[in-house]
Structure 1
Amino acid sequence: MKPRQKSTTVERRKEILNQLSARGQVLVHELSKTFNVSEVTVRNDLEQLERKHLLMRIRGGAIKTDGGVGIDIHLSDKDKLHYQEKARIGKRAAELIKDHDTIILDSGTTTFEIAKNLGHLTNITVVCNALNIIGQLVNNNNVNLIIPGGYLRRNSLSLVGPLSEKNLQNIFVDKVFIGVDGFDTQHGVYTPNLEEAHLNELMIKNAREVIVVTDSSKFFRRSLAFICGINRIHYVITDEGIPAADKKRLEDAGVQVIIA
């Protein structure tokens, strides 16, 4: 697309949304050339539009979102969203795990980052319902894997349904790590899938400690299915972008907030 004269911020952001509506995705380097502005300026535009829930940033650009509570983004697209934050969160979360712990890793891109940081541990047991995480851990001889079974949700590569639920009912763990799609600190945490929400409830019920891992873009957002209230959560591991009011509300409720 031919470069144009520099536009105002409002005009530029409006045109970004128009391009998103037409194409479904925009790229930072293309927008920089189109609007004759720096890539830093474009990234700031995308960040501000994401704060208004008008798009979702990915590495190198942004994708369209309809903003609906039931939106269920494919794992391969989620993996591109806020990757650096998720990597730091995953590394910090792994530091809470001790040798000989029994843990549950929920499905998700942030919990996958936890799985990548378990190499320093000895003789831990991991209960997991996510095929991508299982694949990451299968060659780690210090990890005893328990797979509850179930049928495959391809969007999240997770195993859900009655078989998963039945097997999880009899499993008790030291810690559960839950990834979420929405976090309203006045109510609780959310996911777009009802079956995953029910499975998460069982995981939480049978864990001594509940640890929610989420980047800060999930705050002040709800999704279709409620998982649990903040009274069930012991730790929240997130990035420095968490709104101050949400951090205070969690801490006032007795939740330990860890910034990665």
Structure 2
Amino acid sequence: MLVAERHRKIVDVVNEKLSVRVTELSKIFKVTEETIRRDLEKLEKENQLRRSHGGAVSIQDEQTEVSYTEREITNAAEKRAIALEAVKLIQPGDQIVLDASTTAWYMAKEMPDVPLTVLTNSIKVAVELSKKEQVRVISTGGMLQPKSLSYVGPLAERSLNMYHVNKAFISCKGVHIEAGLSDSNEWQALLKRQMMSISDQTILMADSTKFGVRTFAQITDIQKISYVITDSLIEESYCRGLEEKGIQFNTVMVYG
């Protein structure tokens, strides 16, 4: 296979899978991992993909990413109810981290104006919290993902390493009792894992549609979660699964 043809097919594979590992590409194309790394470096310079930790992610996915406005109206009632419950867990003086989920944005809207320190990779969350005089906001900075209005990447991960927080509030695309938490975006998954590592406890905010779902990039095992807030439509089997894993959870009623 000619180099140009391999490059074209690598881009096709990355766009199809959205995110792929060097090891997997090495097996597909029957070349060394070092060759694949050189291929990815060249393709990134040509703006055909973006390299990630151990692989590559599709920039086509970024271009077709669901807009934040669209995400706001998806399961909005459930997310708002979960966010309201999550806010009850915050105490004056807490130091917390919020991810770039819509549920975190709802939390920011409902958060009381009390002395707090909030780390976040979300521009929307930061702007919402800027309206509250007593809340100190720290942005991770990093590589901007325009559609989700969030920062990701090595700079964002390194900035989190500088801090320690009491509570991390995160959401994800998939919650599987055995396979754990996952996200369709590898950059977001890595950052959420880092958020958890700097926190005393992690509160998972996930509506019932996320349960039983497995997506591409694993965030963590479910045992690493301290507490789960979901909605009352969650299937009983998932409630039993959480109980068997010794994970506390709360189901909230959804109105409207």
Structure-1 separation of matches of 2:181 and 2:187: 15
Residues 163, 198 of structure 2: 8 Å contact kept: yes
Structure 1 residue 72: Cα displacement? 5.1
Amino acid at match of 2:90: I
Q: Does 1:127 align with 2:119?
A: yes
Out of 166, 169, 180, the residue aligned to residue 174 of structure 1 is: 166
Structure-2 separation of matches of 1:249 and 1:187: 12
Q: Which secondary structure state, in structure 1, belongs to the residue aligned with residue 242 of structure 2?
A: helix
Residue in structure 2 matched with residue 104 of structure 1 by the alignment? 97
Amino acid at match of 1:164: A
Structure-2 separation of matches of 1:226 and 1:212: 14
Q: Does 1:77 align with 2:42?
A: no
Amino acid at match of 1:114: M
| 5+ long unaligned stretches in structure 2 | 1-63
Q: Does 1:92 align with 2:90?
A: no
Residue in structure 1 matched with residue 198 of structure 2 by the alignment? 206
Structure 1 residues 158-197: Cα deviation after superposition (integer angstroms, max 9, x where no partner): 1011111111112110000001111111211111111111
TM-score by length of 2: 0.71
Structure-1 separation of matches of 2:221 and 2:182: 9
Amino acid at match of 1:205: S
Structure-2 separation of matches of 1:73 and 1:227: 21
Amino acid at match of 2:190: H
Matches within 5 A, 1:1-260: 73-119=66-112, 121-260=113-252
Amino acid at match of 1:139: K
Q: Which secondary structure state, in structure 1, belongs to the residue aligned with residue 140 of structure 2?
A: coil
Amino acid at match of 2:151: L
| 5+ long unaligned stretches in structure 1 | 1-70
Residues 75, 108 of structure 1: 8 Å contact kept: no
Amino acid at match of 1:128: T
Amino acid at match of 2:213: R
Identical-pair percentage: 33
Structure-1 separation of matches of 2:161 and 2:102: 25
Q: Which secondary structure state, in structure 1, belongs to the residue aligned with residue 200 of structure 2?
A: strand
Q: Which secondary structure state, in structure 2, belongs to the residue aligned with residue 116 of structure 1?
A: helix
Structure 1 residues 180-230: Cα deviation after superposition (integer angstroms, max 9, x where no partner): 111111211111111111111111111001001011111111111110111
Structure-2 separation of matches of 1:248 and 1:239: 15
Structure-1 separation of matches of 2:205 and 2:148: 16
Amino acid at match of 2:191: L
Root mean square deviation, CA, Å: 1.3
Residues 213, 236 of structure 1: 8 Å contact kept: yes
Q: Which secondary structure state, in structure 2, belongs to the residue aligned with residue 189 of structure 1?
A: strand
Residues 150, 160 of structure 1: 8 Å contact kept: yes
Structure 1 residue 154: Cα displacement? 1.5
Structure 1 residue 73: Cα displacement? 3.3
| Matched residues, number | 189
Structure-2 separation of matches of 1:189 and 1:73: 21
Structure-1 separation of matches of 2:184 and 2:146: 14
Residues 237, 258 of structure 1: 8 Å contact kept: yes
Amino acid at match of 2:249: V
TM-score by length of 1: 0.70
Residues 179, 214 of structure 2: 8 Å contact kept: no
Amino acid at match of 1:242: I
